[in-house]
């Protein structure tokens, strides 16, 4: 595997040196350029509730629920975690959890070692931690909240920093209480401890991305901010993040962020920011993917974007081996973008009027789906893992989608 | 402890306000009338208090359940100080719904400030403004500053025939803002303009965000004469839903014709609110409303028809509440409300200075989803496609009567005799 990566890296480097096509998809065999379809391989229906967040842990998937759905005069709240067997192409519902006092479950993620599941709750804000010794039967470890959190946990990102495990929580504004970022040490899952809390974002801090001791925050109209929390060489730590740089997002409304690390070359040049404009759930949406060059973290800058007419982006997941970003696009389904190579350099024809490169004009759009369905979708989230792609659809449940053909 | 201190503080305010009202009423030679008729001989204080004992049955209220509730609604103390010569007027209205109406009042279709299908309580300091009045040749001018009504749209529903609010309250009025406004009247024409803070109150004891004063503006042009009043107005309101800013902005339009004379009253209004960013519009909500009343002997009969649209937002564990502010800029649907209402009101015998009147209101509402697919499907949520509301109760008042709410200074009336003229408090809704 290592030698294969080395060969890929050498090839990418060599082709990258000779590729002067302005960042568009050229002859680079490592840049996926052949369009393909995202077809539904199987669907696990959820008719009783609206489906939202998604996490896949081996052969088990977890989906959260959102808001209130009424079916046959029965109102069901977004207080359920659906547990799926995804060992075959068609997800099979095997169990569910009900979290008391929640109207929406803001986020869900298993730890990288697969031992614990963390669920964020709204509008009574908390995080609920489950033991996954039996992944199909999560066992409650603890539920954590305090006065900084109880307004509602909109998103929760669980990542290790150093030798500790943290949950990075984006807290909803409520009344005169402004949105804030709260970081909780969950190294001991039975005894979470808040280590950082700060008002952030105008008017929201909506999501974060953590990698290699760097914290990136999506701050809505404040754009993004990058913090050293131990890996940036600025003396920052999780308890004392040191801001390294900020960047505005064209149009504002920075909703989520993903920092791409090319698993072949190790290059970490671009971060992708989802813009969430005002839509009408679950019928319309608006918002672009924004590409930020973070080579200089003290001076990040937007260099490219991707737009889908009539639809807006939501959550991301990536195939970092192949350089593909999968983006949930609400009523636009799922889109796959080729993100390897130089996205910030393009021809004049590939630029928008404000000088940014347009990924669509650069032929970076690879796929969309699910194709061939006879009913509308409103895709909230995607998760690519172990070569498989899953999508959570508010209206219809959990999809397993085809991915890029092997190359 | 903090809560206890607040409650004590609140009671002191309430008792003091009632005392002031009673004192002012006893000192006011025009007590029991609508306004001080003449302030040429010195400052005049007029004051009053009122409230409504209300019972409401909503069928269905939610999820096919009939709800029946009782309230003390619109409990208010009002005071008005008019300087010698009438060149300065101060208006104070304290609203105690923060205590009496904390859960909100059943009112299908109404929304705003974190409440839905219940009318939200208004803020304690509902109105505290000072107005200077001047004459400049044929024109009369006034400048108003304080917290109160923005010159936009139509009169506040509190000063109109029905106890139950129309759905279009947040489309057709702007209130409880810190503002500075100017008005100039000449002949039948009146032009008003104001700067104010865009943020809506977060709770009944919230104060305007003073750092946002001036981020929003409005203008209203009115022509009036012989009991008829026609207005058109525009408002640009920055981020009303997100007090810290950064939310969607409102562009609001209103046009109306109002007639009142000899026990007859009629109002027809159109309103439209566009929510968006910059020049881009994300959502549009429209309203058409017509209402009227007529005195038949001692009985007042009123009818109202309304078609208004509202946004839908995710509801909390309490189905009558929505997060405030919302966690993003999206909505979960748009609903059109078609409503027909009728009421009968009649005075009851007074007791000393206390005035009483009784009323009965009946209303039917038909909500229709305007988006498909939609998270909010009215038939599913309410358990019926048509809703009914039945309300009854008694108004209680003392001293100065409920005035027309929403205009200050020379905008209040077209009586041109003196700068002081124009504190028209005649709208006596029984």
Split at pLDDT 50, 70, 90, the class of A18 is very low
Block means of pLDDT (10 residues each) for chain B, 430 residues, are: 42 46 40 42 89 97 94 96 93 97 97 96 97 94 97 96 97 97 96 98 93 96 95 97 92 98 96 94 97 97 98 92 90 96 97 96 98 90 96 96 85 50 35
Give the separation between CA A178 and CA A203, rounded to whole angstroms: 7
Name the E strands within A67-211: 68-71, 74-77, 80-85, 92-98, 102-110, 116-123, 126-131, 139-144, 153-161, 164-171, 180-185, 193-199, 207-211
Contact B329/A253, CB-based, under 8 Å? yes
Using one digit for the tens of pLDDT, what is the confidence trace for A292-308? 999 999 999 999 999 99
Rounded distance between C-alpha atoms, residue A328 and residue A46, angstroms: 18
Q: What is the pTM of this model?
A: 0.88
- Identify the pLDDT of residue B49: 96
Give the pLDDT of residue B416: 34
**Nearest CB neighbour to A203, from listed B277, B325, B383:** B325
* A310 in contact with B, Cβ within 8 Å: no
Contacts A202 to B, Cβ<8 Å: 244-246
Separation between Cα atoms, residue A33 and residue B232, nearest integer Å: 57
pLDDT of residue B13: 46
Domains of chain A: residue spans and CATH: 7-401 (2.130.10.10)
A380 contact B CB<8A: no
Rg (CA), chain B: 21
Query: Which of A65, A204, A315 is most worth mutating to test chain B (most B CB atoms within 10 A of its CB)?
Result: A204
Residue ranges of domains in chain B: 2-34+49-411
DSSP 3-state assignment of A18? helix
Interface of A with B in 195-234 (CB under 8 A): 202-204, 206, 220-221
Of the candidates B277, B315, B374, the beta carbon closest to that of A68 is on B315
Residues from chain A that touch B372, judged by Cβ atoms under 8 A, are 283
Contact assessment for residue A346 and residue A304, using Cβ atoms and an 8 Å cutoff: yes
Q: Looking at beta carbons, which residues of chain B come within 8 Å of A204?
A: 246, 327-328
Compute the C-alpha angle A271/A274/A280, nearest 5°: 175
Alpha-carbon span A282 to A280, nearest angstrom? 6
SS (H, E, C) chain B: CHHHHHHHHHHHHHHHHHHHHHHHHHHCCCCCCCCCCCCCCCCEEEEEEEEEEEEEEEEEEECCEEEEEEEEEEEEEEEEEECHHHCEEEEEEEECHHHHCCCCEEEEEEEECCEEEEECCCCCEEEEEEEEEEEECCEEEEEEEEEECCCCCCCCHHHCCCCCCCCCHHHHCCCCEEEEEEEEEECCEEEEEEEECCCCCCCCCCCCCHHHCCCEEEEEEEEEECCEEEEEEEEEECCCCCCCCCCCEEEEEEEEEEEEECCEEEEEEEEEEEEEECCEEEEEEEEEEEEEEEEECCEEEEEEEEEEEEECCCCCCCCCECCCCCCCCCECCEEEEEEEEEEEEEEEEEECCEEEEEEEEEEEEEEEECCCCCCCCHHHHHCCCCEEEEEEEEEEEEECCCCCCCCCHHHCCCCCCCCCCCCCCCCCCC
Token pair listed for A407: 């190359």
3 state SS of A38: strand
- Lookup: tokens for B191: 């032009």
Q: Which residue has the higher pLDDT, A380 or B28?
A: A380
pLDDT for the residue numbered B41: 67
**pLDDT for A404:** 77
Spell out which residues of chain A touch residue B206, defining contact as CB-CB under 8 Å: 175-176
Label residue A406 by pLDDT band (50, 70, 90).
low
Q: Over range A218-245, report the average pLDDT.
A: 97
Chain B nearest-CA distance from A76, in A, is 11
**A376 contact B CB<8A:** yes
The average pLDDT across A187-211 equals 97
- Residue B141: CB atoms within 10 A of its CB come to 17
Instruction: Please say whether the beta carbons of A315 and A380 come within 8 A.
Output: yes
Look at A276 and B329 and tell me if their CB atoms are within 8 Å: yes
Which residues of chain A make contact with B64, given a CB cutoff of 8 A? 73
Backbone angles phi and psi of A208, in degrees to 5: -135, 165
> Topology of domain B2-34+49-411, per CATH?
Porin (2.40.160)
Whether the predicted pLDDT of A263 surpasses 50:
yes
Whether residue A141 has pLDDT greater than 70: yes
Tokens coding B164? 């139950």
Rounded CA-CA distance A172/A206 in Å is 8
The residue of chain A with its CA nearest to that of B314 is A67
As a whole number of angstroms, the distance between CA B176 and CA B201 comes to 7
Note whether A95 and A80 are within 8 A (CB): no
At residue A8, the pLDDT reads: 45
The mean pLDDT of chain A is 92
Closest approach of B6 to chain A, Cα-based (Å): 18
What percent of chain A clears pLDDT 70, i.e. is strictly above it?
92
Contact B63 A75 (CB under 8 A): yes
Mutating which of B247, B329, B336 best tests the A interface, going by the most A Cβ atoms within 10 A? Answer: B329
- Cα–Cα distance, A216 to A353 (Å, whole number): 28
Burial state string for B384-396 with b = 16 or more CB within 10 A and e = fewer than 16: eeebebebbbebb
pLDDT for the residue B131: 97
Q: Which residue in chain B is spatially nearest to A151 when comparing CA positions?
A: B323
């Amino acid at each position: 595997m290592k030698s294969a990566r080395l060969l890929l890296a050498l090839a990418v480097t060599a082709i990258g040196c000779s590729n002067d096509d302005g960042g568009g998809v050229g002859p680079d065999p490592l840049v996926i350029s052949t369009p393909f379809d995202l077809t539904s391989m199987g669907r696990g229906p959820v008719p009783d509730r609206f489906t939202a967040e998604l996490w896949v842990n081996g052969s088990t998937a977890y989906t959260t629920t959102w808001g209130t759905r009424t079916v046959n005069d029965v109102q069901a709240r977004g207080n359920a975690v659906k547990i799926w067997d995804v060992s075959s192409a068609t997800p099979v519902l095997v169990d569910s959890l009900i979290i008391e006092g929640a109207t929406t479950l803001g986020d869900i993620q298993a730890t990288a070692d697969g031992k614990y599941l963390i669920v964020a709750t709204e509008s009574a804000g908390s995080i609920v931690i489950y033991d996954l010794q039996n992944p199909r039967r999560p066992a409650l470890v603890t539920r954590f909240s305090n006065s900084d959190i109880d307004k509602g946990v909109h998103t929760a990102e669980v990542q290790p920093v150093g030798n500790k495990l943290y949950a990075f929580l984006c807290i909803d504004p409520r009344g005169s209480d402004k949105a804030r970022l709260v970081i909780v040490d969950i190294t001991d899952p039975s005894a979470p401890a808040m280590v950082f809390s700060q008002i952030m974002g105008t008017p929201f801090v909506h999501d974060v991305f953590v990698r290699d001791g760097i914290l990136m925050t999506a701050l809505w109209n404040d754009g993004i901010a990058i913090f050293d929390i131990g890996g940036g060489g600025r003396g920052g730590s999780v308890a004392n993040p040191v801001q390294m740089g900020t960047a505005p997002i064209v149009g504002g409304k920075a909703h989520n962020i993903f920092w791409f690390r090319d698993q072949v070359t190790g290059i970490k040049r671009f971060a992708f920011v989802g813009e969430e404009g005002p839509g009408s759930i679950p019928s319309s949406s608006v918002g672009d993917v924004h590409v930020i060059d973070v080579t200089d973290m003290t001076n990040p800058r937007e260099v490219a974007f991707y737009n889908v007419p009539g639809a807006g982006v939501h959550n991301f997941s990536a195939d970092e081996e192949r350089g593909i970003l999968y983006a949930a696009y609400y009523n636009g389904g799922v889109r796959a973008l080729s993100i390897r190579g130089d996205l910030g350099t393009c021809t004049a024809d590939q630029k928008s009027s404000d000088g940014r490169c347009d990924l669509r004009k650069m032929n970076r759009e690879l796929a969309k789906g699910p194709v061939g369905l006879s009913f509308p979708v409103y895709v909230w989230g995607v998760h690519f893992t172990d070569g498989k792609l899953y999508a959570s659809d508010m209206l219809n449940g959990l999809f397993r989608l085809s991915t890029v053909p092997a190359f | 402890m903090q809560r206890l201190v607040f409650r004590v503080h609140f009671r002191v305010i309430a008792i003091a306000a009632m005392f002031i009202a009673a004192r002012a009423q006893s000192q006011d030679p025009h007590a029991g009338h609508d306004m001080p008729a003449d302030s040429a001989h010195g400052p005049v204080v007029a004051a009053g208090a009122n409230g409504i004992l209300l019972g409401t049955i909503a069928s269905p209220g939610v999820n096919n359940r009939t709800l029946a509730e009782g309230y003390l609604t619109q409990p208010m103390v009002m005071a008005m100080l008019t300087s010698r010569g009438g060149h300065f007027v101060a208006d104070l209205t304290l609203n105690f719904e923060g205590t009496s109406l904390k859960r909100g009042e059943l009112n299908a279709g109404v929304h705003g400030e974190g409440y839905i299908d219940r009318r939200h309580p208004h803020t304690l300091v509902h109105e505290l403004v000072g107005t200077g009045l001047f004459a400049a040749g044929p024109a009369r001018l006034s400048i108003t500053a304080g917290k109160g009504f923005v010159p936009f749209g139509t009169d506040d529903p509190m000063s109109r025939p029905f106890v139950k609010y129309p759905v279009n309250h947040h489309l057709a009025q702007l209130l409880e803002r810190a503002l500075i406004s100017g008005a100039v009247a000449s002949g039948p024409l009146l032009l008003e303009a104001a700067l104010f803070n865009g943020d809506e109150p977060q709770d009944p004891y919230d104060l305007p965000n003073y750092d946002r004063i001036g981020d929003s503006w409005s203008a209203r042009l009115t022509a009036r004469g012989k009991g008829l009043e026609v207005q058109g107005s525009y408002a640009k309101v920055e981020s009303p839903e997100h007090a810290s800013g950064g939310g969607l902005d409102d562009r609001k339009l209103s046009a109306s014709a109002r007639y009142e004379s000899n026990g007859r009253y009629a109002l027809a209004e159109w309103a439209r609110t566009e929510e968006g960013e910059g020049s881009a519009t994300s959502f549009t909500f429209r309203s058409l409303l017509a209402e009227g009343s007529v005195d038949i002997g001692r009985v007042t009969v009123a009818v109202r028809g309304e078609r208004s649209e509202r946004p839908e937002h995710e509801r909390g564990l309490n189905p009558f509440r929505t997060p405030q502010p919302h966690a993003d800029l999206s909505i979960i649907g748009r609903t059109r409300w078609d409503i027909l209402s009728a009421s009968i009101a009649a005075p009851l015998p007074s007791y000393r200075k206390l005035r009483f009147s009784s009323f009965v209101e009946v209303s039917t509402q038909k909500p229709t989803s305007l988006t498909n697919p939609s998270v909010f499907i009215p038939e599913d949520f309410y358990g019926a496609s048509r809703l009914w509301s039945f309300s009854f109760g008694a108004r209680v008042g003392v001293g100065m009567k409920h005035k027309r709410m929403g205009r200050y200074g020379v905008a209040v009336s077209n009586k041109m005799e003196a700068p002081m003229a124009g504190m028209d408090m005649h709208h006596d809704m029984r």
